[in-house]
Amino acid sequence: MSRFLKKGKRKQERGITLIALITTIIVLLILAGITIGAITGSNGIIGQAQSAKEETEISQEKEIIDISTVEAMGKNNRGNLEEEEFQTAVSNHTNGKAEVTDTGEEFEVFFEESNRYYTVDKDGNILDYTDIVIDNSPGDLTKNENGDTIEEGKPLEIWCIEDLVEWSKNYSKYLNKEIALCRNLNFKSKYSYSDSENTNYGDVNNDGKTESLINEMQTGEGFNPIYEFRGEFYGENNLIDNFYVNKSGNAGLFIYVTGNIHDITIKGNITSQTSYAGVFADSGYNTIENVNNYATINGNSAGMIAFCRGKMEVINCNNFGDIEGKSAVGGICGDCFLGQITNCKNEGTIKSSHSANYGVGGICGNIASNTEASFNNCINTGEIIYDGTKGNWYFGGTGGLIGLIRGSVTAKNCVNLGKVTSTSYQGAICGMELHYFDTNEKYEVINSFMLDNVELTTGSISTDESATKFQISEIPDVIEKLNSYIAENNLDKQGWKTWEQGENGYPELKEVE
C-alpha cells in the first residue's frame, strides 16, 4: 500500500509544479504588458495556434479528398465518381477513419478525428465543409444543442431537422415566438438529423407507410409545411438544402405567414398539385428580407411568395430557381396584394402554359385590383415565358418584371435583361395593364431600363414601351443614371442598394459588405 501512496504523492507534486510553472509564465507575460485575453482569446496566442492547427487540418483533409477523387475516377472506365470506389480511396488515405455517403446529387465525406464533413459534387469538387453538431435535445426548440434551456428573451433554436418537424407538428405552440435557425440543414444528409433512422415520428409524408425520418423527408409528400407563423424567424444566413414538399394543397416551408422572416436560403423542390406553391405559400402584413430561393417551384399560383396577402415589404430577396404555374407566376411573388418590393432580383426561368393564366413576370405575376404597389430597384435576368393558348381577353400578360397590372403600380429604377416570350400580351417591364375597376389607377415607370437585345417575341402584342432601351456599350451610362436617381432622392438612406457593372458586364445590384 505504501508503494501506491508514494506513487500518488509523486504525481501530485508533479501536478503542482506544472500549475506553478504555468502561473509564473502568465504572471511574467502580464508584467510584460500582455493580457489574459491576448493569450487565451480567439485572436490571442492560444487562439491563433488553434486556428492555425484547424487550417492545417482542413487543408490536409481537402488534399485527401482531392487525391481520392482522382484515384476513384481512374479506377473505372466511365471516369465518374461512384460511392464504393470513392470510399475505398478515402479509407486507404485515412486508415479507415473517414466515411463517404452518397446523398444523391452530392457526396459527404466525414472525418472521424476532426468530427468534420465535406460536401463534394459528382465531379469531385469540394463545395463546403461543416463541423458535426450533435443536438442533445432533438425536437425541443426550448433547448440549445447542449440540452440547456434557452434563457428567457432569447430566440428558440433549431439545430436539427427533428426540430423543424416538431415545429411543423405543433405550430400553434410557436405562433408568436422568436425562432432562430442555428446551422445549415440538408434534408438528404444524415448529419442534419439527430437520428436519421428514427421511425418514431410515424408516417410524416402521408404515403401509407412508416420509414426512417430521412426517407420520410424525401418521398411521398415530404416535409409537412409549418401551417402558420406570426413571430420572428431568423435564418442567420443559413441554408436549408434538398428541401422537399409535394402536396395536393398549399406547399412551402410555411403556409400562412404574418411574421417577419430574415436571412435564409432554400434549395430543393416545392410542388403543389392544385394550389399555392412557394417558400412562403401565403404571406402578408409582414416583412420578408434577405431570402434566397434556389428551389424549383411548381403550383397553381407560384413564386418565392406564392400569394402576397395585404400590404407587406419584400427586401433584398433573390430567386434563382425555375418557377412554373397556372394562374399567376412570378420570381418573387405570384399573385399579389402588396406594398413594396425593393432590391429584389430574379435569375430563374418563370413560365406558364395554362390558358387561364393571369400573369407571368420576373418579379411579380399578377398585381390584383384596388392595390397600390411599388417595385423599387429591382432586376430580372431570367427568361419569362407564356406559351399557352390565349383564353379570355384579359389573360396572359407576360412581362420582364410584372405580368399583369390591375391597380396603381410604380416601377422605379428597375432593369430587365431577360427575354420575354409570349403568345399573348407582353412587355419589357409590364405585360399588360387593366384599370376597369378604377380609372384613377395608374401604372408609372420611372428611370427604368431594358437591354436593347432583349427579345420581345413575334406574334404577341407589345403593350409596354415605357422602359428606356440601351445598348451594351451604354451600360456604364445606365449604371450612372440608376445610382444618380438613388443619390438625388436620398434613397440609399432608405436601404436602396447601389448598382455596379458585374463580371458579365451587365448592371447588377451591389451587395452590402
DSSP assignment of 130-196? EE----SSTT-TTB-TTSPBPPTTSPEEE-SHHHHHHHHHTGGGGTT-EEEE-S-EETT-GGGSS-T
pLDDT of residue 35: 60
- For the stretch 299-320, pLDDT in tens is 999 999 999 988 899 999 999 9
> Quick check: 226 pLDDT over 60?
yes
Angle at 123 between CA 120 and CA 129, to 5 degrees: 15
Which range, 356-360, 366-370, 389-393, 478-482, is most confident? 478-482
> Which residues are CB-neighbours of 165 under 8 A, at least 6 positions away?
139, 201, 204, 213, 223, 224
Q: Tell me what the mean pLDDT of segment 103-111 comes to.
A: 92
Question: To which residue does cell 437520428 refer?
Answer: 195
Q: In the structure, what pLDDT confidence band is assigned to residue 30 with cuts at 50, 70 and 90? A: low
Q: In the structure, what pLDDT confidence band is assigned to residue 109 with cuts at 50, 70 and 90? A: very high
Query: pTM of this prediction?
Result: 0.87
- For the stretch 416-437, pLDDT in tens is 999 998 888 888 888 888 765 5
Q: Which residue has the higher pLDDT, 14 or 178?
A: 178
Q: In the structure, what pLDDT confidence band is assigned to residue 197 with cuts at 50, 70 and 90? A: very high
Whole-number percent of the chain with pLDDT over 90: 69
Q: Tell me what the mean pLDDT of segment 273-281 comes to.
A: 96
Q: Which three cell numbers stand for residue 359?
A: 400573369
> Quick check: 8 pLDDT over 50?
no
Query: What are the beta bridge partners of residue 433?
Result: 405
* Cα–Cα distance for residue pair 90/18, rounded to 1 Å: 41
- For the stretch 343-357, pLDDT in tens is 999 999 999 988 778
pLDDT of residue 38: 56
Q: In the structure, what pLDDT confidence band is assigned to residue 289 with cuts at 50, 70 and 90? A: very high
pLDDT of residue 39: 56
Question: Can you say whether the dihedral through the CA atoms of 209, 215, 216, 220 is positive or negative?
Answer: negative
136-144, long-range: CB < 8 A, 24+ apart: 138/162, 138/163, 138/193, 138/194, 138/195, 139/163, 139/165, 139/166, 139/194, 140/166, 141/166, 141/167, 141/174, 141/177, 141/179, 144/182
pLDDT of residue 164: 98
Q: What is the dihedral of CA 393, 301, 239, 60, to 10 degrees?
A: -60
> Quick check: 507 pLDDT over 60?
yes
Q: Which domains does the chain have, with CATH numbers?
A: 45-131 (no CATH), 138-224 (no CATH), 249-509 (2.160.20.110)
Q: What is the mean pLDDT of the chain?
A: 88
Which range, 52-66, 243-257, 325-339, is most confident? 243-257
pLDDT of residue 452: 81
Give the side-chain half-sphere CA count within 13 A for 376: 22
* Cα–Cα distance for residue pair 8/501, rounded to 1 Å: 72
Q: Which residue has the higher pLDDT, 339 or 162?
A: 162
Which of 449, 459, 442 shows the shortest CA–CA distance to 405? 442
Q: What is the dihedral of CA 239, 242, 244, 250, to 10 degrees?
A: 30
CB 255 within 8 A of CB 282: yes
pLDDT of residue 45: 59
208: alpha, beta or left? (left if phi > 0; alpha if psi -120 to 50): left
Angle at 168 between CA 147 and CA 215, to 5 degrees: 85
Q: Which three cell numbers stand for residue 38?
A: 491576448
Which of 370, 368, 337 shows the shortest CA–CA distance to 438? 370
> Quick check: 111 pLDDT over 90?
yes
pLDDT of residue 433: 80
- For the stretch 471-499, pLDDT in tens is 999 999 999 999 999 999 999 999 999 99
> Quick check: 10 pLDDT over 50?
no
Tell me the three state secondary structure of residue 279: coil
> Quick check: 2 pLDDT over 50?
no
Q: Which three cell numbers stand for residue 27?
A: 504572471
Q: In the structure, what pLDDT confidence band is assigned to residue 41 with cuts at 50, 70 and 90? A: low
pLDDT of residue 405: 87
